[in-house]
């Protein structure tokens, strides 16, 4: 028995190890190989959701022995996968091969008897393993915990400084920051645990993650955006059967969809607050443009936003997933720019006049569409490739686009990441923000329909500007930082690669806080002299023309 347990254990360890290697290889293989291997968004989501339904989350005693733990839990069924992590104690995610094993585990589980408190008997798949009577502990901690957070910026800068090229630096940053396989499993499991709570009201509901948990651009530690999908409950997908009679449920009517969403979130929010184990700090933010319930899920350490009736955001997440899966350079560039923007305070975790990660990602997509030849297709091109199953209309807007990667032709652009990064900064350092709108549907800038400083057309709701919140000061900071960063990179990799080991250079130099600090200082002095943008623009133009004269390959090459 022990031998087979060990074998299984080794199997899943190998499985994860090989995935890590695969992820490493993926970053260095050509884009052709990665694109056609990529699963469609819905296939991947369904697989992960089903996997989460077969999983449980178990809080473990300290110094738990992995072997003893596995032996104990595997009495209820074959374990397909298991990993440990730390969040106010040690937790194990256990994925059984069969869903039935969870019923067996539940039968062996009791409700705790607490001396001075009373437990509400609300049963979920979040369990707690007590070692009182069982010999599960070992004197030495014997579980290896999976990382759930990224390294700090200082450590990242040191790490990047040791790379040999700027391209390597970008891939290295992505590998360090991206969600791990285990972290993604945990995100789906938390959705599945919450579904069990919401199912008290809506038995057929599904809670789906969206945003950076699934769009391919998630950083370890990012929030968990969730969407309560009631389509299966509402019968929206039900085929009409013939005959002159139809049966309908009687139910309360609401004045609007918004009012219905608010009611649903009110009760689910209350349920999460009252009975949701590990859910703390529940806030119902029902008057926001998109009503939501916000809370912290302590066992996973995730900050959660639960929304309902939010299909467009789900489509936006899928669109970003498609763009990220089309070419290996896209994700590396987005990770790098999200990190750069965060370090320099262009984005923030606090809502306000800052650029959001979503807007920034759309800007990167637009820039890549504008390369010659293009790195990414336009949304209209993706729509034209859509198959019958891809057709989607949400609130009167056409949200169709192709989901099958193999139907999308490979692009011929072969520019290096270093060059693309450099050109991104030049592009937005010189962009006519005052007149033009960024439009990824058409892949060309359009005249601005309104006067917000930054206008990025919402890909699926053309009347909306996704960056309406950004004020003129924040836009100016973005432009200046782009110009300074372009300038630094033009100066031979911002400090010269490998001259002195550990001295920040290339991308590492761009992430140094001193860059934005120096801009702040210069900004004060410049006010008396000339606008920053004009000075840097001139410098960049002169560099560009001297480069062209020297016959250095540029974008047109
Ligand atoms: P993080 O900052 O890592 O959380 O990135 P994120 O992409 O998850 O962004 P966020 O949590 O702010 O929003 C979640 C998702 O909602 C995004 O991925 C988009 O799909 C959608 N979204 C966010 N902001 C907007 C917006 O202004 N307009 C539209 N249409 N969708 C948005
Ligand atoms: Mg998010």
Is 452 a pocket residue for ligand 1 (Cβ < 6 Å)? no
396: left (phi over 0), alpha (psi -120 to 50) or beta: left
**Statement: the pTM of the whole predicted model exceeds 0.80:** yes
Q: For residue 11, is pLDDT > 70?
A: no
Most confident segment among 342-351, 354-363, 403-412:
354-363
More confident residue, 315 or 530: 315
Q: Is 212 in the pocket of ligand 1 (CB under 6 A)?
A: yes
As a whole number, mean pLDDT of residues 344-366 equals: 95
Lowest-pLDDT range, 28-32, 130-134, 524-528? Answer: 28-32
* In 138-293, alpha helices (H): 153-161, 166-177, 181-198, 231-234, 257-275
Ligand 2 mean position, distance from CA 374 (Å): 28
Please, which pLDDT band fits residue 2 given cuts at 50, 70 and 90?
Answer: very low
The reported pLDDT for the residue numbered 251 is 85
| Pocket perturbation via mutation, ligand 1, pick of 184, 215, 220, 225 by most ligand atoms within 8 A of CB | 225
For residue 498, is pLDDT > 70? no
State if residue 466 touches ligand 1 by the CB under 6 angstroms criterion. yes
Residue of 294 and 134 predicted with greater confidence: 294
- Over 90: is that where the pLDDT of 381 sits? yes
Place of tokens 């917000």: 452
Kindly tell me if the per-residue pLDDT of 310 is higher than 60.
Answer: yes
Beta bridge partners of 145: 84
Q: Is the predicted pLDDT of residue 351 greater than 50, yes or no?
A: yes
Mean pLDDT within 391-406: 94
Average pLDDT for 457-461: 96
**Least confident window among 434-443, 453-462, 530-539:** 530-539
Question: Would the pLDDT of 16 be above 90?
Answer: no
Q: What is the pLDDT of residue 111?
A: 82
pLDDT of residue 293: 97
Q: Which two tokens stand for residue 169?
A: 């630096």
pLDDT tens, residue by residue, 325-336: 999 999 999 999
Query: Residue 549's pLDDT is what?
Result: 43
Sign of CA dihedral 57, 58, 62, 67: negative
* Span 182-194, pLDDT tens digits: 999 999 999 999 9
Query: What CA–CA distance (Å, rounded) separates 165 from 486?
Result: 17
222 CA: nearest ligand 1 atom? 3
Residue 113 pLDDT: 77
Percent of the chain at pLDDT above 90? 66
Select from 75, 137, 82 the least CA-distant residue to 107.
75
> Which residues have CB atoms below 5 A from the ion given as ligand 2?
211-212, 223, 225
Say what the alpha-carbon torsion angle 235, 237, 239, 240 is, to the nearest 10 degrees.
Answer: 50
């Amino acid at each position: 028995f022990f031998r087979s347990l060990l074998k299984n254990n080794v199997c899943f360890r190998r499985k994860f190890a090989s995935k890590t290697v695969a992820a490493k290889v993926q970053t260095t293989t050509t884009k052709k190989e990665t694109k056609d291997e990529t699963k469609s968004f819905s296939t991947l989501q369904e697989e992960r959701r089903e996997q989460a339904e077969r999983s449980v989350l178990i809080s473990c005693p300290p110094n738990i022995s992995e072997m003893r733990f596995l032996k104990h839990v595997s009495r209820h069924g074959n374990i397909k996968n298991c990993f440990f992590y730390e969040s106010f104690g040690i937790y194990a995610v256990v994925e059984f091969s069969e869903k039935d094993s969870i019923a067996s585990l539940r039968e062996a589980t009791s409700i705790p008897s607490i001396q001075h408190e009373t437990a509400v008997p609300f049963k979920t798949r979040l369990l707690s393993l007590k070692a009182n009577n069982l010999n599960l502990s070992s004197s030495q901690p014997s579980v290896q915990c999976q990382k759930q957070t990224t390294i700090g910026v200082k450590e990242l800068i040191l790490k990047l400084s040791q790379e040999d090229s700027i391209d390597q630096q970008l891939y290295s940053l992505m590998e360090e920051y991206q969600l791990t396989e285990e972290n993604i499993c945990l995100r789906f499991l938390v959705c599945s645990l919450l579904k069990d709570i919401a199912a008290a009201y809506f038995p057929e509901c599904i809670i789906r993650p969206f945003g950076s948990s699934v769009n391919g651009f998630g950083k370890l530690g990012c929030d968990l955006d969730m969407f309560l999908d009631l389509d299966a409950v509402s019968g929206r997908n039900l085929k009409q059967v013939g005959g002159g009679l139809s049966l309908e449920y009687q139910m309360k009517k609401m004045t609007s969809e918004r009012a219905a969403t608010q009611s649903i979130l009110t009760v689910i929010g209350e349920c999460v607050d009252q009975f949701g184990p590990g859910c703390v700090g529940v806030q119902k933010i029902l008057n926001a443009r998109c009503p939501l319930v916000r809370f912290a899920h302590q066992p996973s350490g995730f900050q959660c936003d639960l929304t309902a009736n939010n299909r467009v955001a789900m489509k936006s997440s899928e669109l970003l997933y498609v763009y990220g899966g089309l070419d290996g350079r896209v994700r590396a560039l987005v990770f790098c720019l999200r990190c750069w923007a965060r370090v320099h305070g262009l984005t923030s975790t606090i809502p306000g006049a800052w650029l959001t990660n979503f807007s920034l990602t759309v800007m990167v997509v637009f820039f890549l569409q504008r390369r010659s030849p293009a790195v990414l297709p336009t949304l209209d091109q993706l729509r034209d490739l859509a198959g019958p199953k891809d057709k989607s209309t949400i609130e009167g807007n056409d949200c169709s686009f192709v989901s099958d990667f193999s139907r999308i032709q490979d692009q011929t652009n072969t520019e290096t990441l270093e060059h693309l990064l450099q050109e991104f900064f030049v592009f937005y350092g010189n962009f006519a923000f005052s007149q033009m709108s960024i439009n990824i549907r058409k892949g060309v800038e359009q005249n601005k329909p309104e006067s917000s400083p930054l206008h990025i057309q919402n890909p699926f709701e053309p009347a909306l500007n996704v960056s309406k919140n950004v004020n003129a000061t924040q836009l100016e900071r973005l432009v200046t930082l782009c110009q300074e960063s372009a300038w630094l990179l033009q100066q031979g990799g911002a400090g010269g690669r490998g001259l002195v080991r550990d001295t920040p250079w290339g991308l590492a130099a761009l992430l140094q806080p001193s860059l934005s600090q120096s801009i702040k200082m210069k900004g004060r002095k410049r006010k008396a002299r000339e606008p920053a943008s004009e000075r840097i623009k001139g410098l960049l133009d002169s560099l560009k023309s001297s480069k062209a004269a020297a016959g250095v390959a540029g974008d047109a090459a």
